[in-house]
């Protein structure tokens, strides 16, 4: 609101607001700790930064990078001095930047087509399973929940792209809205529920082979709690911790390893348990196939 130069993102680094006549100095962004070699650009091991850390980078004894300054004039910000290429060894006009943009756009187009195809296929499958009463059983109810988790995952990706990347030239330095944070919470919830319903699929099949008397209705109740309830608890805890200890940016970067394990840990655990269940299922099926009491029809079923 005061007279001067507003905060600015120049596609390389962030410039804090300044008053007229003030000269602002920043270090070269740690992302651009490049050294020139015969093979082209190589990233120095020192090139580590955290997304959302908008404070001016302090100089270090090991840093080979220089300072860049801008003068806040009555007409706005002056050009950077010295130029980024001279101070940091980086040229923002390099054609490599265009190639990188093309690469990311190609990847985005590819996964958009993939998620769209998945969304149409899964929706069709859900209509079929809901339409025919003969298909209503515990096994298919579990499949339907898995399909719903895949559908939500695809939808959450489209919403996330729409909110985070709606403006290609947006001021990504200072984007930190409740809307985009809520989208990231929803996205992580959908991904977690997807993994947990995959886990439920394995758990159901294992229980079906082990249990002689299988109360499916009672088990399905607990399956629902695990499949939808566990991700709710984990994502809620993660959101609260992010809000209090790492409330930077739009929560789309996870540089704080400890907080990220609140989500990643249960997902990795479910995958590992599912793998153990998979091995157990194979062992049980092989044992049943080798049993002399198994007849021809049962043998073909287990096979």
> For the CA atoms of the chain, what is the radius of gyration?
27
Interval 97-102 mean pLDDT: 70
Tens digits of residue pLDDT in 166-203: 765 555 555 678 888 999 999 999 999 999 999 999 99
Let me know whether 81 and 104 are in one domain: no
Q: Which residues, 6 or more positions from 21, have their beta carbon under 8 angstroms from its beta carbon? A: 71, 72, 73
Q: How far apart are CA 236 and CA 147, in angstroms?
A: 23
278 assigned to some structural domain: yes
Let me know whether 27 and 146 are in one domain: no
- The DSSP secondary structure of 219-258, one letter per residue, reads HHHHHHIIIIIHHHHHHHHHHHHHHHH---TTS-----HH
pLDDT for the residue numbered 226: 93
Q: What is the residue range of 21's domain?
A: 1-35+64-92
pLDDT for the residue numbered 65: 56
Q: Which residue has the higher pLDDT, 53 or 245?
A: 245
pLDDT for the residue numbered 26: 85
Interval 270-287 mean pLDDT: 92
pTM score, two decimals? Answer: 0.66
Distance of alpha carbon 71 from the chain centroid: 38
50 assigned to some structural domain: no
**Confidence tier at 287 by pLDDT (50, 70, 90):** confident
pLDDT for the residue numbered 15: 85
Residue 87 has pLDDT above 90, yes or no: no
CB 26 within 8 A of CB 80: no
Number of Cα atoms under 13 Å in the Cβ half of residue 200:
31
269 assigned to some structural domain: yes
**Confidence tier at 48 by pLDDT (50, 70, 90):** very low
pLDDT for the residue numbered 53: 37
Let me know whether 237 and 272 are in one domain: yes
Let me know whether 162 and 240 are in one domain: yes
Let me know whether 84 and 211 are in one domain: no
- The DSSP secondary structure of the chain, one letter per residue, reads --SEE--EE-SS-EE--EETT-EEEEEPPGGG-EEEETTEEEE-TT----TT--SPPPP-TT----EEEEEEETTEEPPPBS-HHHHHS--TT-HHHHHHHHHHHHHHHHHHHHHHHHHHHHHHHHHHHHH-GGG-SHHHHHHHHHHHHHHHHHHHHHHHHHHHTS-TT--TTS---HHHHHHHHHHHHHHHHHHHHHHHHHHHHHHHHH-SS--HHHHHHHHHIIIIIHHHHHHHHHHHHHHHH---TTS-----HHHHHHHHHHHHHHHHHHHHHHHHHHHHHHHHHH-TT--HHHHHHH-
Let me know whether 11 and 151 are in one domain: no
Return the CATH number at 127: 1.20.1070.10
147 assigned to some structural domain: yes
Of 164-168, 208-212, 243-247, 266-270, give the range with the top mean pLDDT. 266-270
**Confidence tier at 90 by pLDDT (50, 70, 90):** low
Let me know whether 251 and 201 are in one domain: yes
Max CA distance (Å), the chain = 92
Q: Which residues, 6 or more positions from 82, have their beta carbon under 8 angstroms from its beta carbon? A: 66, 68
**Confidence tier at 100 by pLDDT (50, 70, 90):** confident
Domain total in the chain = 2
299 assigned to some structural domain: no
295 assigned to some structural domain: no
pLDDT for the residue numbered 49: 35
CB 251 within 8 A of CB 184: yes
Query: End of a domain among 75, 92, 109?
Result: 92
Residue 89 has pLDDT above 60, yes or no: yes
53 assigned to some structural domain: no
């Amino acid at each position: 609101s005061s007279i001067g130069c507003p905060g600015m993102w120049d596609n390389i680094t962030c410039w804090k607001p300044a008053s007229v006549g003030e000269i602002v100095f920043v270090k070269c962004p740690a992302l651009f700790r490049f050294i020139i070699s015969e093979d082209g650009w190589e990233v120095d091991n020192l090139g580590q930064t955290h997304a959302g850390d908008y404070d001016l980078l302090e100089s270090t004894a090991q840093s080979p990078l220089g300072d860049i300054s801008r003068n806040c004039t009555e007409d706005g910000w002056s050009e950077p001095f010295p130029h980024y290429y001279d101070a940091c060894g980086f040229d923002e006009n390099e054609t490599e930047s265009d190639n990188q943009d093309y690469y990311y756009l190609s990847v985005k187009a590819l996964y958009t087509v993939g998620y769209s195809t998945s969304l149409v296929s899964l929706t069709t499958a859900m209509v079929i399973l809901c339409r025919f009463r003969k298909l209503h059983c515990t096994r298919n109810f579990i499949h339907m929940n898995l399909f719903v988790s895949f559908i939500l995952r695809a939808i959450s990706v489209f919403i996330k792209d729409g909110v985070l990347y709606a403006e290609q030239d947006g001021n990504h330095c200072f984007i930190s809205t409740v809307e985009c944070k809520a989208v990231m919470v929803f996205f992580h919830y959908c991904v977690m529920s997807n993994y947990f319903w995959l886990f439920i699929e394995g758990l159901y099949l294992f229980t079906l082979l082990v249990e002689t008397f299988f109360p499916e209705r009672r088990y399905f109740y607990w399956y629902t709690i695990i499949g939808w309830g566990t991700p709710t608890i984990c994502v809620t805890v993660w959101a609260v911790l992010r809000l209090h200890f790492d409330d930077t940016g739009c929560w789309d970067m996870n540089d704080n390893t400890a907080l990220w394990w609140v989500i990643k840990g249960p997902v990795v655990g479910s995958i590992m348990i599912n793998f153990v269940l998979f091995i157990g299922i194979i062992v049980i099926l092989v044992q049943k196939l080798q049993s002399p009491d198994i007849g021809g029809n049962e043998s073909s079923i287990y096979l």
